[in-house]
């Protein structure tokens, strides 16, 4: 598909709004279905200023069959991004996450089948479905199901070891790594991915599930303290508060620019496919959390604010995961173009114009009151 009308659920959010821009630039007509969740859009929750005026916005819930039916009228393809997004929060708002993420996908897929005209569905999945990334031992043996036990986490032993006590080394995680679901959020993202593919296969609707890694960039909600470590750190720093680091800060993630993510989304829409597919969408590089904080603080000229290393474990967290992006490169022609440094510089410029409220203490208090930090 190279032009036509596209529905983006959750398209008023961080990734969805950038996706809208990318699709407009490439000649598509874009409609968004978004409930404008106050946790993401603030209490007033109106049309976000950053949303291009050419994008049609329908305010509605993806779980509402009538709203979804209306949103699908005349649409040739669907990007499904609407979701509750936050690992820690998913561990106590269990019903809400399951309702929005799992049930929302069920309502949407049923409506897509009934619409009879949707040619492609792209669903936003997540690296969270891997749990821990892939690890090797010194002989190069692969470890697919490694986990950290509660006892080791209580003693502040953060790294992973095999049964012989050998320290395991994280390596890029390919799509073939077995899923290992460590949070309700991860479970819901896996459910979204699988459900879309099962329905797509049954009704001959091509589905692509994109497993996003840690996406960063402008427009990431600064009011949502449950996800997006760079946005959370920025809200802390700009309020002259010290960022709180879980574990020792040496956990590694794959930070991918939102511009590269929307490039992958568009390619997934446009590249012809025979069957349903799954791709990692990352940068293919890794950074630890302390390192990214240091660079962000420098760009915001807040180096004097030192982080508090809590040595606490956040329930559902994994130690290291970064992407093997070979499949997306070979089959979609995906090429990450924005380096971490470039992306961070643009983010810092955008942040200077924002007045974020710091909700991190609320999130930390909620997690610790429920025993979800160790």
Residues in the chain: 374
Of 1 and 309, which CB lies nearer to ligand UD1 in the complex structure?
309
User: Closest approach of Cβ 321 to ligand UD1, in Å?
Assistant: 6
| 227 lines the binding site for ligand UD1 (CB under 6 A) | yes
| 87 lines the binding site for ligand UD1 (CB under 6 A) | yes
Name the binder of 245 from ligand UD1, ligand NAD, none, CB < 5-8 A by kind. ligand UD1
User: Closest approach of Cβ 238 to ligand NAD, in Å?
Assistant: 19
CB atoms within 10 A of CB 331: 15
User: Closest approach of Cβ 180 to ligand UD1, in Å?
Assistant: 10
| 12 lines the binding site for ligand UD1 (CB under 6 A) | no
| 262 lines the binding site for ligand UD1 (CB under 6 A) | no
Name the binder of 36 from ligand UD1, ligand NAD, none, CB < 5-8 A by kind. ligand NAD
Stretches 122-130, 169-177, 191-199, 326-334: which one binds ligand UD1 (CB under 6 A)? 122-130
Candidate list 28, 130, 135, 185, residue with the active-site label: 185
Tokens of residue 326, six digits = 């070979």
User: Closest approach of Cβ 81 to ligand UD1, in Å?
Assistant: 11
- Collect contacts of 362-370 with beta carbons under 8 A, ≥24 apart: 362/225, 363/88, 363/89, 363/225, 363/226, 364/244, 366/89, 366/92, 367/88, 367/91, 367/314, 367/315, 370/91, 370/92
Summarize as ranges the residues that interact with ligand NAD (CB under 6 A).
Answer: 9-10, 12-16, 33-37, 40-41, 61-63, 81-85, 100, 104, 124, 126, 189, 212, 214-215, 221, 228
Name the binder of 86 from ligand NAD, ligand UD1, none, CB < 5-8 A by kind. ligand UD1
Stretches 28-36, 83-91, 136-144, 325-333: which one binds ligand UD1 (CB under 6 A)? 83-91
Q: Is 185 an active-site residue?
A: yes
Name the binder of 235 from ligand NAD, ligand UD1, none, CB < 5-8 A by kind. none
Name the binder of 244 from ligand NAD, ligand UD1, none, CB < 5-8 A by kind. ligand UD1
CB atoms within 10 A of CB 78: 30
Of 122 and 332, which CB lies nearer to ligand NAD in the complex structure?
122
Please identify which residue in 317, 324, 346, 358 interacts with ligand UD1, judged by CB under 6 A: 317
| 246 lines the binding site for ligand UD1 (CB under 6 A) | yes
Q: Which stretches of the chain bind ligand UD1, using CB under 6 A?
A: 85-87, 126-128, 183, 186, 212, 214, 227-229, 232, 244-246, 251, 253, 289, 314, 317-318, 321, 360
**Residues annotated as catalytic (active site), given as ranges:** 185
């Amino acid at each position: 598909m190279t032009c036509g009308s596209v529905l983006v659920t959750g398209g008023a959010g961080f990734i969805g709004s950038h996706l809208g821009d990318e699709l407009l630039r490439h000649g598509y007509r874009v409609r968004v279905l978004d409930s404008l969740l106050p946790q993401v859009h603030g209490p007033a929750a109106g049309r976000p200023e950053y949303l291009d005026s050419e994008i049609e916005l329908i305010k509605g819930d993806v779980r509402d069959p009538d709203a979804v039916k209306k949103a699908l009228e005349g649409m040739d393809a669907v990007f499904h991004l609407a979701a509750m997004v936050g690992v820690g929060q998913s561990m106590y708002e269990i019903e809400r996450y399951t309702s929005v993420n799992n049930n929302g996908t069920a309502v949407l897929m049923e409506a897509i089948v009934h619409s009879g005209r949707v040619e492609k569905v792209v669903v936003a999945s997540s690296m969270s479905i891997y749990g821990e990334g892939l690890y090797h031992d010194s002989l190069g043996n692969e470890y697919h199901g490694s986990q950290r036990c509660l006892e080791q986490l209580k003693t502040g032993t953060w790294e992973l070891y095999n049964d012989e006590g050998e320290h395991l080394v994280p390596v890029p995680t390919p799509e073939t790594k077995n899923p290992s679901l460590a949070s309700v959020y991860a479970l819901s993202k896996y459910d979204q991915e699988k459900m879309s593919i099962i329905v797509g296969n049954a009704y001959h609707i091509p589905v692509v599930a994109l497993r996003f890694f840690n996406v960063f960039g402008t427009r990431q909600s600064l009011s949502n303290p449950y996800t997006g470590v760079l946005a959370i750190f920025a809200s802390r720093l700009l309020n002259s508060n010290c960022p709180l680091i879980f574990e020792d800060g040496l956990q590694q993630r794959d930070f991918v620019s939102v511009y590269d993510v929307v490039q992958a989304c568009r390619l997934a829409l446009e590249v012809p496919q025979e069957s349903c597919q799954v791709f990692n969408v990352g940068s293919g590089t890794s950074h630890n959390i302390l390192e990214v904080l240091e660079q962000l603080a420098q760009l915001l000229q807040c180096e004097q604010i030192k982080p508090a290393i809590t040595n606490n474990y956040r329930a559902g967290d994994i130690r290291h995961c970064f992407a093997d992006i070979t499949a997306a490169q070979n089959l979609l022609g995906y090429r990450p173009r924005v380096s971490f440094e470039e992306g961070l510089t643009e983010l810092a410029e955008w942040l200077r114009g924002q007045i974020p409220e710091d909700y991190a203490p609320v999130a930390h208090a909620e997690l610790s009151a429920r025993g979800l930090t160790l």
